[in-house]
Chains A and B, each alone.
Chain A
Amino acid sequence: MSGRDTLVVVPAYNEAGAVGDVVRDLLAEGFDCVVIDDGSADSTARIARAAGAKVLQLPINLGVGGALRCGFRFAVDRGYRRVVQCDADGQHPPSEIRRLLAVQDSEHAHLVIGSRFVEGAHEYEVGRARRFIMRVLSGIVRRSGGVRIHDTTSGFRCIAEPLLGEFATSYPVHFLGDTFEAALVAARGGYRIVETPIHIRERQAGEASAKPIAAVRFILRAVIATTAGLDFRIRPLSEQPQP
């Protein structure tokens, strides 16, 4: 696949401090990128534009899932075949995107998850509670989706057609939905999911959105959503029109 069939989607909420550098890095690496300004109150959109990015401005804050789906729609509209989602806080180095894309190419994967845990990944310090949550979540995906993923909440992913088209129409916006649930639903739909180790950097600016109190909600939500079959629906791979 050529480089022009890939779009880097950067959801950004009040990331004026970091988004400029992220965009410049991406463009310097030769990627097409679009920043989804998720109703920011600061100058995120202006700074991203000044850095050379295409910017989609959501008039109200939708959350990461909404920003991502908007980016997926944009990608599908403009004929991109795959998307890399990348945080706007500078955690995901553009050089690692090449690694995701290479894995997507070689494995013909529909979803490549950049993992902070699998062997070969950079040392990633997490608390005990967080580690436990990650275990539970990946256990759910393994039992219910039949896929082994360690880092189910990683926000550094590559999504390729036909899964991209499905996510462009249906993608959850609620807490955990855009990471854990999306992986689970893709796995259940029979899409090929591959996890690959990546290196992440320290956050350059902005506030981390995962707080310790969220731990209980994490697990409760995950268990309720999966056991009750509440997750959003996509067409399984087997029902995709053959190319």
Chain B
Amino acid sequence: MKQELLIIVAGIALGALVLAIARRRLLTVRYTVGWVLLAGVVIVVALLTPLIEPIANWFGMTATGVLLFMATGTLLLICIQLSITASGLTAQQRDLTEAIALLRERVDELEGRDPDAPRT
């Protein structure tokens, strides 16, 4: 029972932490919702531990082992998801960077301005 209690506290702490970060405008709604949902799942799973026990035994694992396995798997999937996001952002950033260089040159050309002069 102590274990379940600990997991529930951890779940609540996670939710609170995420909300605190989100309130500081460091997280967009999209990620906030995801992490809050995850905190909810943690709490629910802790409450369901007694139900997990027989399934875990059937696989020859303890309930703790199953929980650890699920937690690790979830974190791994989140990491992969974030890598995908980062790859997309990198590609977009590259497109924009190139576009800016091309446009800047075009503007200087059209304005007939010295590109090295300070911009106002």
Interface positions of A (Cβ within 8 A of B): 36, 45-46, 49, 54-60, 62, 66, 69-70, 73-74, 77, 173
Q: Give the residue name and chain of the A residue nearest to B115 (CB).
A: A49
Minimum CB–CB distance for A58 against chain B, Å: 5
Q: Which residues of A contact B101 (CB under 8 A)?
A: 36, 56-59, 70
With A46-B116, A55-B115: A66-B105 Cβ-Cβ less than 8 Å: no
Interface positions of B (Cβ within 8 A of A): 93-94, 97-98, 100-102, 104-105, 115-116
Task: Specify which of B94, B100, B102, B115 is in contact with A173 (CB 8 Å cutoff).
Answer: B94
For the A-B complex, the count of residue pairs with Cβ-Cβ distances under 8 Å equals 43
* Known A56-B102, A59-B97; further 8 A-B contacts with Cβ < 8 A: A55-B105, A56-B104, A57-B105, A57-B115, A58-B101, A70-B97, A70-B101, A74-B105
On whether the beta carbons of A62 and B98 are closer than 8 Å, the reply is: yes
Minimum CB–CB distance for A198 against chain B, Å: 28
Q: Give the residue name and chain of the A residue nearest to B116 (CB).
A: A46
Which 8 A-B pairs rank lowest in CB-CB distance, beginning with the nearest?
Answer: A70-B98, A56-B101, A58-B101, A56-B105, A46-B116, A58-B97, A66-B94, A70-B101
CA–CA, A173 to B100, complex, Å? Answer: 17
On whether the beta carbons of B98 and A69 are closer than 8 Å, the reply is: yes
Task: Specify which of B102, B115, B116 is in contact with A77 (CB 8 Å cutoff).
Answer: B102
Task: Specify which of A49, A54, A59, A70 is in contact with B116 (CB 8 Å cutoff).
Answer: A49
CA–CA, A36 to B101, complex, Å? Answer: 9
Q: Which residues of B contact A74 (CB under 8 A)?
A: 102, 105
CA–CA, A49 to B94, complex, Å? Answer: 24
Q: Which residues of A contact B94 (CB under 8 A)?
A: 62, 66, 173
CA–CA, A45 to B101, complex, Å? Answer: 12
CA–CA, A116 to B59, complex, Å? Answer: 61
On whether the beta carbons of B104 and A62 are closer than 8 Å, the reply is: no
CA–CA, A59 to B101, complex, Å? Answer: 7
On whether the beta carbons of A59 and B100 are closer than 8 Å, the reply is: yes
Q: Which residues of B contact A70 (CB under 8 A)?
A: 97-98, 101-102
